[in-house]
């Protein structure tokens, strides 16, 4: 599997962009159809969502044509096969996982990846591919009353976005069970 890019903050940093360009040329990226999933944002209580605009603009700065980006909320109808890339935005990971389970969207994600199409995760969008979201759940509002923090398990470690901001939490935990994502980085799986 070489078609997953995990990030903490999308492509606002050149290191993350360089990882993406290892998988897909700028020309191919420009013509790709992107399903831009913003569901996790709906679970955010924070009033400051300037990062949402920055992250969207970072896709445009990659060379993706704005007309090729379709915003999508899990639960609405979509033919996922019409797209070349899933870009799963960050936001509230608990809410995102809840919506994925509620609408059985995990099957759609897994089928998409198994077809060799490109999945890009940003923060919560990265974390849901791991084994659990338990650590990150400490930081987030559990608006849906979730008690089972088991994630999709596509990656057999717990994915921790923004690890550079969580050093106190991580100091007593075995790093072998974690995949740490630092702001600005991109990891290819």
- Can you say how many angstroms the Cα of residue 148 is from the centroid of all Cα atoms in its chain? 20
Task: Please state the domain extents for the chain.
Answer: 4-188
- Helix (H), strand (E) at residue 16: helix 14-23
Question: Other CB atoms closer than 10 Å to residue 91's CB: what's the count?
Answer: 24
Judged against a pLDDT cut of 70, whether residue 1 lies above it is answered with no
The strand pairing partners of 74, in sequence order, are 76
**Predicted confidence (pLDDT) at residue 90 exceeds the cutoff of 90:** yes
* pLDDT at 55 exceeding the cut of 70: yes
Percent of the chain with pLDDT over 70: 99
pLDDT-derived band at 47 (thresholds 50, 70, 90) equals low
Helices in 43-188 by DSSP H: which ranges?
Answer: 50-61, 93-102, 105-114, 124-127, 134-137, 167-170
> Residue 17: which H helix or E strand, with range?
helix 14-23
pLDDT above 90: residue 137? no
Average pLDDT, the chain: 92
- The DSSP output letter for 74 is B
Average pLDDT over residues 52-56: 88
Query: How far is residue 127's CA from residue 59's CA, in Å, rounded to a whole number?
Result: 20
Confidence of residue 103 (pLDDT cuts 50, 70, 90): very high
**CATH node for 4-188:** 3.40.50.880
- pLDDT tens, position by position, 139-165: 888 999 999 999 999 999 999 999 888
pTM to 2 decimals? 0.94
């Amino acid at each position: 599997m070489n078609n997953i890019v995990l990030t903490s903050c999308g492509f606002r940093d050149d290191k993350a962009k360089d990882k993406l360009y290892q998988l897909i040329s700028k020309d191919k990226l420009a013509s790709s159809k992107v399903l831009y999933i913003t569901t996790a944002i709906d679970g955010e209580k924070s009033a400051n969502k300037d990062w949402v605009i920055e992250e969207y603009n970072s896709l445009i700065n990659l060379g993706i044509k704005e007309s090729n980006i379709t915003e999508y909320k899990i639960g609405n109808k979509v033919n996922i096969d019409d797209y070349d890339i899933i870009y799963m935005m960050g936001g509230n990971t608990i809410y995102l996982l809840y919506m994925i389970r509620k609408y059985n969207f995990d099957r759609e994600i897994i089928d998409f990846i198994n077809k060799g199409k490109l999945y890009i995760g940003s923060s919560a969008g990265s974390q849901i591919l791991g084994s659990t979201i338990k650590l990150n759940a400490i930081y987030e509002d559990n608006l849906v009353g979730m008690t089972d923090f088991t994630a999709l398990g596509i990656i057999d470690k717990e994915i921790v976005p923004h690890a550079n901001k969580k050093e106190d939490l991580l100091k007593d935990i075995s790093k072998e069970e974690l995949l740490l994502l630092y702001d600005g980085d991109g990891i290819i799986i």
